[in-house]
Structure 1
Amino acid sequence: MPVIAIVGAGPGLGYEIARAFGGEGFTVALVARNAEKLDALAAELGGEGIAAAGFTADVTRPDTVAAAFTRIKERFGRIDVLEFSPADRALDAAGVLDVAPENLQPMFDFHVGAVTAVKQVAPDMIAAGEGTILVTTGGGSINPVPFFANINFAAAGLRNWTLNLHNELKEHGVYVAHVAISAWIGAGHPDAEPDVIARKYVELYRTRTEPEHHHIALDR
């Protein structure tokens, strides 16, 4: 069975991405900080007939990310799809004129977790001549939002690197795409429901053409 690793797995979008790919026959590796919550998500997926397991890691600590991926590969084998979409509500947003090193560095540390995760799977994908990497940010990485200026700063850098990665790895048979989400997920807009957004990830995986998708669901 193919394997997807979801970094930042939670009860919202991460869970629905797991369900969407699980429905395509994938085994699911859930990566996040809280082992108890991961085990609960894995049990829910198991109840739907989807093979899943949790692996703890903190994206701001590269050693824990590397260790988690080592455990995933030991248990499930090569990872076919990597999806990166963690969120941390404890990180404070700052407006344009309030951006400073002390509120910008934590955002960089958080977003750079994607680089660490990609490095755990890219060599195997290149060697196999196939694989998919999907990196998620907020829509401010494309259309800046003044009151999220420090987040946008870091997310725009991650977007730039992901698009570069798309160009670099496509010659090796590895598909990379950036997903920007301009939506209050689960807040009531029909196109902002986690299961609706998750289906787009499967579509990207299947079509393997777009380097970027901007999912917009803000108007009521």
Structure 2
Amino acid sequence: MARIHHRTRGRGKRAKRALKTSVALTGARWAWNRRRRGAERSKQVSAVRRGARLLTWGAAGAVLGVGAAMMSEHGHPRRLRGKVVLITGGSRGLGLQLAREFGAQGALVVVCGRGRESLDHAVSELTERGVDAHGVVCDVTDPEQIAALLEEVDDRYGRLDVLVNSAGIMRVGPWEALTEEHFVQAMDVIFWGPLRLSRQALGRLRERQGTIVNITSIGAYLSVPHLTPYSCAKHAQAGLSEGLAAETAGTGVSVTTVAPGLMRTGSHRGVVFNGAPEREYAWFALLAGLPLLSVNAERAAHRIVGAVARGRSFLVLTPVARAGMAVHGLAPGLIQESMRLMGRLLPNTPESPEERSGSEAARGPLGRAVGVVATLNERAYEQLNQVPHTRQSRRAARSEG
């Protein structure tokens, strides 16, 4: 009995020790888990606090940025009365509307274009509006004509205050229907022209603390399919404009970069279409004339002239263009995939590609149907001197605005 009692008491002691050990381990595990959860909560709180601080600083930065933009937008404008303004591509389209707007502000306007008859028509119309206007025939792809243009401005007015690089060329079509020469033409008009003109005019503008205005495009930041030559040239022009703005700091010359979205200027009739011209014309004319996606030339010109008067360095004209640029900055891959999808929806290259101007494509059945819908763009075509006054070859057909 004594042995049995001794073994039973031994088992009881071992059980108590095991129980104590188990309780101790459980307590230690509980304490460890509590400490770990506390550390994790501390990290989470720290992360939240850091995130809150970042959000606070980000919000403050956004408020300051928006405030600065609003101050720039609504600041006291500089007077334009008596200023001499040179506008390339000023005989039609956006260039002509800019001439009207600058003239309405009392500026002396020089417009240049390639065709004498179209130029004379624009100057006559500006003069009837009470604008002091002068026209000069000039092809901005020719350095000698650029030099002669600036000399004529000097001879007539003796100074230059604002240079607006607005001349442009646009060709629409799939990659397979375009040639290297089409890219050369776009670069000559959209990039090399503004580069040479800005270089030659810079000394004159420095004397007057003047302004260079470069009309780029949303196409400078989003490469749209079937507009590759145009997008490439506008990319280059935007780089030139932003780089020149930095280079001229402290010289007294200011540079305004304008990035329009779609505009109703009637230029769809002057654009050259390659591949399947009628189908290319249809999608282009529809998009360019939609009220919610595009802006009319009058509003665009008013905002551009206001930006020049207030010394703004960058102007995006439409909410759609601003949204597209913002998304491209945050998610460029998404924009690229969207452009790929758009490319698949656009017309394919036919076995026998053709080339026609917008005016020719508009005369086909599909073009006439589109004209009924795109009435706003057709109206702009008539109001902005886009109606051709002389016959021009397809190769020389250009859209100035």
TM-score (norm 1): 0.89
How far is 1:154 from its partner? 1.5
Partner letter of residue 22 of structure 1? G
Counterpart residue identity of residue 124, structure 1: R
Q: Distance in 2 between matches of 1:166 and 1:155?
A: 16
Q: Distance in 2 between matches of 1:27 and 1:213?
A: 23
| Counterpart for residue 120 of structure 2 | 39
Q: 1:174 pairs with 225, 242, 253, which one? A: 253
Gaps of 5+ in 2: 1-81, 266-288, 322-401
Q: Which residue of 2 aligns with 1:86?
A: 167
Rounded to whole Å, the distance in 2 between the matches of 1:217 and 1:8 is 26
Identity %: 26
Secondary structure of the corresponding residue to residue 28 of structure 1: strand
Counterpart for residue 71 of structure 1: 152
Of 114, 121, 129, which residue of structure 1 is paired with 2:194? Answer: 114
Task: Name 2:312's counterpart in structure 1.
Answer: 209
Q: 3-state DSSP class of the match of 1:147? A: coil
Quote the offset at 1:204 in angstroms.
1.2
Q: 2:221 aligns with which of 139, 142, 160?
A: 142
TM-score normalised by length of structure 2? 0.50
Q: Which of 209, 232, 236 in structure 2 is aligned with 1:153?
A: 232
In structure 2, the CA distance between the partners of 1:14 and 1:178, relative to structure 1 (3 Å rule), is same
- Structure 1 unpaired stretches of 5+: none
More helix by share: 2
2-structure distance, mates of 1:121, 1:173 = 14
Question: Which of 25, 44, 47 is 2:106 aligned to?
Answer: 25
Which residue identity does 1:201 align to in structure 2? I
SS of 1:192's equivalent?
strand
**Structure 1 match to 2:130:** 49
| Structure 2 residue 84 is matched with structure 1 residue 3 | yes
Aligned partners of 1:189 and 1:217 also within 8 Å: no
- Deviation by residue 1:157-186 (Cα, 9 ceiling, x = unmatched): 111011010111131111101112211424
TM-aligned CA deviation for residue 151 of structure 1: 1.4
SS in 1 for 2:249: helix
Of residues 94, 107, 124, the one that matches 2:204 is: 124
Give the ranges of 4+ consecutive aligned residues of structure 1 lying more than 6 Å apart after TM superposition. Answer: none
Q: Which amino acid aligns with 2:258?
A: V
> Closer, same or farther in 2 for the Cα pair 1:217/1:35, shift >3 Å?
farther
Distance apart, 1:99 and its partner CA: 6.5
Query: CA 1:180 to 1:43, structure 2 compared with 1: closer, same or farther past 3 Å?
Result: same
Q: Distance in 1 between matches of 2:248 and 2:118?
A: 34
CA-to-partner distance for each residue in 1:38-77, whole Å, 9 max, x for gaps?
1111111111111001001111212112211211111112
Q: Distance in 2 between matches of 1:100 and 1:188?
A: 30
Distance 1:99 1:159 in 2: 23
The amino acid that maps onto 2:213 is L
Equivalent pair of 2:162/2:205 in contact (CA under 8 Å) = no
Once the two structures are superposed, residues 125-148 of structure 1 have per-residue CA deviations (whole angstroms, 9 ceiling, x without a partner) of 2233x1011011232101211221
Q: 2:183: which partner in 1?
A: 104
Is the 2:241–2:255 Cα contact (8 Å) retained in structure 1? yes
Q: Which amino acid aligns with 2:206?
A: I
Question: Whose Rg is larger?
Answer: 2
Aligned CA RMSD, in angstroms, stands at 2.3
Alpha-carbon distance in 1 for matches of 2:185, 2:96: 25
Matched pairs, number: 216
